[in-house]
Amino acid sequence: MKDHRKKLAARAPLSQKTVVIAGASSGIGRATALEFARRGSSLILLARRIDTLQQVAEQCLDAGARLALAVQADVTKPENLRDAVKIALEATGKIDVWINNAGGGAVGTFEEIPLDVHHKVIETNLLGHINGTYHVLPVFKQQGYGTLINTISVGAFAPEPYVVAYSASKYGLRGFSESLRCELLHWPDIHVCDIFPAYIDTPGFQHAANYTGKKIKPVPPVFEARRVAKAMVRLARRPKDAVNIGETAGLYKAANAIAPALFRRVVTGIMDNYFHRAKPASIGTGHLFKSGENGTGISGGWLQETSPAKKSLLFTAVAAGLGVGFLLFNRR
């Protein structure tokens, strides 16, 4: 009878589920909170910016959430996430879905970025996910079910120049999830799901530490954050190990797997060419160490710079360039 109740709880509709979202104040996290809110879920929203987070909670209640609590939390502080678990359990008695979504980055050549900045990127992206998982996994095991969703990046499969610590953290997250699935083989109703987005239109690039001296922005084509949010909802309903978001995600993964040396040349050439032409910008740590007031929305405004026709053309050009390059490379 007890196992039957656990099965029923695991398969309950989203309107009966409690969802915890780390990094919910902007971008993908904010979009995801609203997607679950529209389905009547109970939400525990985590981020450093409590004022912004409270606004998100109010939006979620207006959108249909059964409950929306704003909890100030820094994922680099394990005690914050331990407290968030307690708050969720006190409020609803369970945690059905936990989403590790907080992240940060630093752009620049490896040696020009200060070492403490590299450390902070790793601490936020990799250890932040580990911290959240460490505190929620015992709850999942006690319940006998639960879904963990990790926002990673296509950068976990395809290296990116000038964001070395970011790439290291994403490669590390992929190994973390895969190893965790091994340990959970005897827990069939506990799922570890990974999302690998391509470049997404969020304020993340405005938040990043910048040591290039140039304005930084995502490599087009760029995709809507809501695509990632909808994928989160689908995973909460029907968990699966991994999901790619954006057509270029699969392309980058395949290109790097088939011709890694060529892929390195192409992506480095694209970045070098961009920085050669980019407008000047100030050097600074962005939101990495301390959250700021800017960039609180879902979008970073990047989609406005890329029309649908241009986006399609860019995708075709990238695909064709990699394909032709691969053929030429293998004739040598």
- How far is Cα 34 from Cα 329, in angstroms, rounded to an integer? 46
Q: Which member of 145, 162, 166, 199 is catalytic?
A: 166
- How far is Cα 248 from Cα 251, in angstroms, rounded to an integer? 5
**Catalytic-residue membership of 211:** no
Is 279:213 a contact under the CB 8 Å cutoff? Answer: no
Residue found under tokens 């083989």: 185
Q: Residues with Cβ < 8 Å from 254, sequence gap 6 or more?
A: none
- How far is Cα 301 from Cα 71, in angstroms, rounded to an integer? 27
- How far is Cα 52 from Cα 7, in angstroms, rounded to an integer? 36
Sequence-ordered alpha helix ranges (H) in the chain: 2-10, 27-37, 50-63, 78-92, 115-122, 128-143, 164-183, 204-207, 225-237, 247-258, 260-277, 308-331
| Residues catalogued as catalytic | 166
